[in-house]
Amino acid sequence: MKCAELLFSGQKVHHVTLPSQSEPCEYHQKKVLLFLLEKCIKTKFKQAINAVLLRPGILVLINDADWELMGELDYQIQDKDNIVFISTLHGG
Amino acid sequence: MDQEVCSLKALLKDKEEEISALKNKLAQLEQGHASVLKLHDKVTPIRPLTVKTALSNEDIMRYSRQLLLPELGVKGQLNLAKTSVLIVGCGGLGCPLAQYLAAAGIGRLGLLDYDEVELSNLHRQVLHGEENQGQAKALSAAGSVKRLNSTVECIPYHLQLTPENALQLIQQYDIVADCSDNVPSRYLVNDACVLSGKPLVSASALRLEGQLTVYNYQGGPCYRCLYPVPPPPETVTNCSDGGVLGVVPGVMGCFQALEVLKLASGLSSSCSPQLLMFDAQNLRFRSIRLRPKQADCAVCGDNPSVTRLVDYEAFCGSAATDKCRKLNLLSKGQRISVQEYKSIVDTSVPHLLLDVRPLVEVDICHLPISLNIPLSGLEERRSEDIRLLQERISQLKQQMAGDGQPAVYVICKLGNDSQKAVQVLEKMSGSEVESIAVKDICGGLMAWAMNVDPTFPQY
Ligand SMILES: [Zn+2]
């Protein structure tokens, strides 16, 4: 469990269709994050949730912006949003 | 005849004068070099840079191709000459960074590294050569930089940056570049830059990825604004564990040089705080808009709790080097030395040798009798791995004709993962696999290479 990519079983990109399509493409991010994690992470589910939501050293990006700029968990996910988890590198 | 003797004598006199002039020049140069490249093992005050007010003809020729850029021009070039830059780490990032800064005519370079040049550095740390092995990296880098541009002042520091010396050192420079390879150093450099008000150009690289950000500049965020809490040490991968393609830090070090040159020349870096990410595998760059300076940041916020440098190794729970940590998860009885394992092999005691490294490392080298099941396969109970293990254990049991538990010895590169694997196997013993006696081989294959078989490759 060394970087975000490994959390997602080495797969770099996941395309996810969110449930309840009747609602007009707005979701509370907390739910979406949990959904993404459930869908994408095949092993170590609990650690993964901790890792992404609470673990230091991982930045959450929404459409190429730090999620802090987007209101973090209050952001309403839109259709076609691109959510990226990146882990900080330290090597040189 | 007389005439010939006279002219030969005159010629000889000329040549002798020439030789002595050359000898003087050489002595001067050697002296000059020695004083400039004196290796510093502690931080001492340095005299301010002499301010150049005009470019010499030689400067104009040397820098002509960049002087032609209206964005730089003579003014920018003179600005470079009066700027001093501290490079923390003369490795994969620091080498190309120092090289381009020197080539561009930066005034002074502080080159800091506590380490010596090793053969495994050369694929990415391109200022060091084969003949520099064993030499202080700071000195080796300074020598290369001097050959490239003797007008750049170089100060090599062969020391570890610590909370005790960091402020004194960083205060003497205009810009700091973080080219270090570990988490505690990154927090230390950040805090020292915030406390002394210096911009920090920070890059990092691992495997096939790189990242770059300018911190603490024009009211932007610092490293702690982004990462208030250090990552758990067991989640951090360094280059000696995870590997790195040399050109990746090369690319990132060049970007660092670009950012430093822009700051130093006064060429405005208009962009709001951003993180540049480089994905070498897909040849993609991604530029991330970053949060502004955080009011609640522990060091640069409104009410900072960090007002002086602290103990960063304690804060991060790891050492300020990229050398591997030594885990100690097992009791003495659960471990054997490589010499003890050697005698088990020599006396043909039936056993199973389990190599828990990833396949890519097993391809580099392995002991011929070992069975490879990566640690991750055991941890995740991958069914094909477990089946293979069960098979080999029952084979071993038949071989032993039924007396006692089958012996399983676990090995990895350095003896950390193998300890984790022993813990996993002990949980599995008697339930998921037959009851086994598991032991860790202390120090792993590198200890085997050091103490038992010197022909075994080290990596
Ligand atoms: Zn800050």
Chain B contacts of A51, Cβ < 8 Å? Answer: 235
Closest chain B CA to residue A68: B291
Tokens representing residue B341 in the block: 């394992």
Q: Which of A25-34, B73-82, B157-166 has the lowest mean pLDDT?
A: A25-34
Tell me whether residues A57 and B235 touch, CB distance under 8 A.
yes
Q: For the purposes of burial, counting CB atoms within 10 Å of the CB of B328, is it exposed (0-12), middle (13-18) or buried (19 or more)?
A: exposed
pLDDT tens digits, one per residue of B163-195: 999 999 999 999 999 999 999 999 999 999 999
Count CB-CB contacts under 10 A for residue B424.
19
pLDDT score of B326: 79
Model pLDDT, residue A31: 56
What confidence tier does B218 reach under pLDDT thresholds 50, 70, 90? very high
According to the model, what pLDDT value does residue A43 have?
43
Q: Region B346-369: what's the mean pLDDT?
A: 96
Question: CB-CB: which of A55, A56, A91 is closest to B181?
Answer: A91
Percent of chain B's residues with pLDDT above 90: 83
Measured between CA atoms, the residue of chain B closest to residue A47 is: B235
Q: Residue B197 Cα, ligand 1 centroid: separation in angstroms?
A: 12
- Distances B94 to B61, B89, B123, B433 between C-alpha atoms, Å: 27, 6, 14, 50
| B156 has pLDDT over 70 | yes
d(CA B437, CA A34): 41
Interchain proximity A91–B244, CB inside 8 Å: yes
Of residues B91, B238, B291, nearest to A90 (C-beta): B238
**Closest chain A residue by Cα to residue B121:** A92
pLDDT value at residue B327: 82
**B293 touches A at CB < 8 Å:** no
The single-letter DSSP state of residue B322 is S
CB contact under 8 A, A55 and B89: no
Catalytic residue IDs of B: 239, 412
Beta strands in B95-239 (DSSP E): 108-112, 153-157, 175-178, 200-206, 209-215
Q: How confident is the model at residue B241 (pLDDT cuts 50, 70, 90)?
A: confident
Task: Tell me if B182 is assigned to a ligand binding site.
Answer: yes
The structure tokens listed for B290 are 């970053």
Q: How far is CA B407 from CA A24, B230, B327, B435, in A?
A: 62, 40, 23, 10
B179 touches chain A (CB under 8 A): yes
pLDDT (tens digit per residue) in A3-46: 355 445 455 666 666 555 444 334 455 555 655 655 555 444 44
The residue type found at B397 is K
pLDDT at A25: 38
Query: Residue A55 — pLDDT band, cuts 50, 70, 90?
Result: low
Sketch out chain B's domains with CATH numbers.
34-316 (3.40.50.720), 332-452 (3.40.250.10)
B47 annotated as a binding-site residue: no
Tell how far the Cα of B333 is from the centroid of ligand 1, in angstroms.
Answer: 47
Looking at the predicted structure, is the pLDDT value of residue B269 above 70?
no
In the prediction, which pLDDT does B32 show? 53
Q: How confident is the model at residue B21 (pLDDT cuts 50, 70, 90)?
A: confident
Cβ within 8 Å, pair B249-A92: yes
